[in-house]
Amino acid sequence: MRYFKLPDLGEGLQEAEIVDWHVAEGDKVEVDQLLVSVETDKAIVEVPSPQAGTIASLFGASGDLVHIGEPLVEFAGMEEADSGTVVGKLQDEADAAEEDHFLIGSGSAEQAAAVLATPAIRNLARRLQVNLNDVAATGPGGMISHEDVERAARLSKSHGGSEPLRGVRRSMAQAMTRAHQEVAKVSLHDEVDLYRWRENTDVTMRLVRAIGKACAAEPGLNCWFESQGPRRRLMTQVDLGIAVDTPEGLFVPVLRDVANRSLEDLRAGLDAMREAVQSRKIPPQEMRGATITLSNFGTMAGRYADPVVVPPTVAIVGAGRRRQQVVAHEGQAAVHPVLPLSLSFDHRAVTGGEASRFLAALMQDLALAS
């Protein structure tokens, strides 16, 4: 083949972000030699060469988005039957948009044409490092004036420039937008008295175990909901997504079959996943397929929360910061450790009764001695 295009990465993914090229133009490569690392669905995927040959061209730089079926690499001295209607179109558009690429950021050629500015104004914007898409036009007919560009430059200097969301943060923004648009979310809050716990109890593992018990008591929250239909799919295995905070953004690796594993095995599995997340080497399949989610935000701060339910799951448990609190115990005031809990659920698929019974079962297991 002459052009190697971004292959289907599975799970309905349509695009990937280039992280790092491992070859350069002019390099000779062998079959299965690593060409490029791309990021998609919050995981790094390494793409190997499908053939041996010499690299003639690389399409895209680090940070660029490439869609499935678009070219990644051109091999020298080879022909291709579909001689790249896609490639030719890509190159033509790149040439046409090159002049305005900086001015409109990562926008399309259509966006560039929609910006009403004279060549002199565009040159001014280039000198002042101003993105014309971010400029409010006050000139006649929606034209951008030099005052508009200068005002935008002053604001950028005083408040800092904007930057496009990439990688994990971009995926998070898309997921949160979808959740906000689709889910009919309701949240319940309560707290559980932990006075029976030993001093060094592993809070996260107790939460994991309790979620498994609660799913057995109320299976309706261990579920996927399909808007089209609508339909719901009750899951027989509890695969728990656990939110992991990193400087790059939020990752949610999946701890499998939590109801049928020992706490020691679950702890080892979670530690391995967190290490893989921090090193950005977690396999994509380990980030997919959660049937319910846990956000243990209390390890940092916060008492209660209103966690976001991300489709197709229908429930997420939030655990706040454990604290000492005065409680009524056997008719007397006592100071006990208390854990705040939040449960958000998709009311399209889960009734209030189901959610309340789930939370009660969760609290019942957490209240047991450790």
Residue ranges per domain, the chain?
3-99, 105-159, 168-366
Helix (H, G, I), strand (E, B) or coil at 330: coil
Note every long-range contact of 352-359, with CB atoms under 8 Å and residues 24 or more positions apart, other chains counting. Answer: 352/186, 354/218, 354/220, 354/221, 355/186, 355/188, 355/221, 355/315, 356/188, 357/217, 357/218, 358/214, 358/215, 358/217, 358/218, 358/220, 358/221, 358/315, 359/188, 359/190, 359/214
Which CATH code for domain 3-99? 2.40.50.100
Region at 10 (left for phi over 0; alpha for psi -120 to 50; beta for the rest): left
Whole-number pLDDT of residue 11: 58
CATH T-level topology, domain 105-159: Dihydrolipoamide Transferase (4.10.320)
The C-alpha R_g of the chain, in whole angstroms, comes to 26
Q: How far apart are CA 342 and CA 166, in angstroms?
A: 30
CA distances from 123 to 157, 276, 325 (A): 18, 46, 64
Q: How far apart are CA 339 and CA 367, in angstroms?
A: 10
Residue at token pair 């991300």: 310
**The amino acid at 370:** S
The pTM is what? 0.66
Residue at token pair 């809990």: 341
Which CATH code for domain 168-366? 3.30.559.10
Write out the chain's pLDDT in tens, 370 residues: 788 988 887 656 678 888 889 999 999 999 999 999 888 765 778 899 999 999 998 988 888 888 888 888 989 887 654 433 333 333 333 333 344 444 444 444 444 446 788 877 887 888 788 888 888 888 888 889 888 888 888 887 776 666 777 777 888 888 889 899 999 999 999 999 999 999 899 999 999 999 999 999 999 999 999 988 899 999 999 999 999 888 777 889 999 999 999 999 999 999 999 998 888 888 888 888 999 999 999 888 889 999 999 999 999 999 999 999 999 998 999 999 999 999 999 999 999 999 999 999 999 999 999 7
User: Given this chain, do its domains 3-99 and 168-366 carry the same CATH topology?
Assistant: no
- Cβ neighbours of residue 326 closer than 8 Å, sequence gap 6 or more: 333, 334, 335
Whole-number pLDDT of residue 302: 87
